[in-house]
Amino acid sequence: PKGIPNNLLPFVAQVAVGKREQLSIFGDDYPTNDGSCERDYLHVMDLAEGHVAALNWLQNNESFRGVEAFNLGTGTGTSVFQIVTAFEQAIDENIPYQVSPRRAGDLPAFWANAEKANKQLKWQATRSLEQMMEDTWRWQSNNPDGYR
């Protein structure tokens, strides 16, 4: 993205490409394995395939009228420190960061339960965290100023 990202991975990528000096990690004292917040990170292609699966489901259920919600995710929490480490491994460089105070309202950990999407849409995330980091770096390094 151009400008200030609103989620972790674009921030990490912008630090890696030199657009930002360092990453701020908000809190390292959460009740998680390494003290940083855990979230469900999903590769953009898995997300796109989930959307296509939902459209196919709608097309195959033409009589359906109403609203249906599906969670798309890996079902696994990954910590901020794990993201930083995985990105460092993908680019073979260190990501400079500082631990900052917690942000108000941040939950220690949450992730998606994608069982319904798996059963009804026949969808599940297939890409690894490592692949997500490599693809993010490939995109960011080819587009250092963001999408034009």
For residue 35, the domain's CATH number is 3.90.25.10
- pLDDT (average), residues 123-136: 98
Residue 31's identity, in one-letter code, is P
Chain centroid, CA 61 distance in Å: 30
- Asked if residue 48 belongs to a domain, the reply is yes
- Asked if residue 14 belongs to a domain, the reply is yes
Q: What does pTM read for this prediction?
A: 0.91
Q: How many domains does the chain have?
A: 1
Could you read off the pLDDT of 7-41 as tens digits, one per residue? 999 999 999 999 999 999 999 999 999 999 999 99
- Asked if residue 57 belongs to a domain, the reply is yes
- Look at residue 146 in the predicted model and tell me its pLDDT: 79
- Asked if residue 136 belongs to a domain, the reply is yes
- Give the Cα separation of 147 and 142 in Å (integer): 10
Residue 37 lies in domain: 8-142
Could you read off the pLDDT of 69-122 as tens digits, one per residue? 999 999 999 999 999 999 999 999 999 999 999 999 999 999 999 999 999 999
- Look at residue 89 in the predicted model and tell me its pLDDT: 98
pLDDT band at 1 (very low <50, low <70, confident <90, very high): low
pLDDT band at 147 (very low <50, low <70, confident <90, very high): confident
Report whether pLDDT(148) > 90: no
- Asked if residue 123 belongs to a domain, the reply is yes
- Asked if residue 3 belongs to a domain, the reply is no
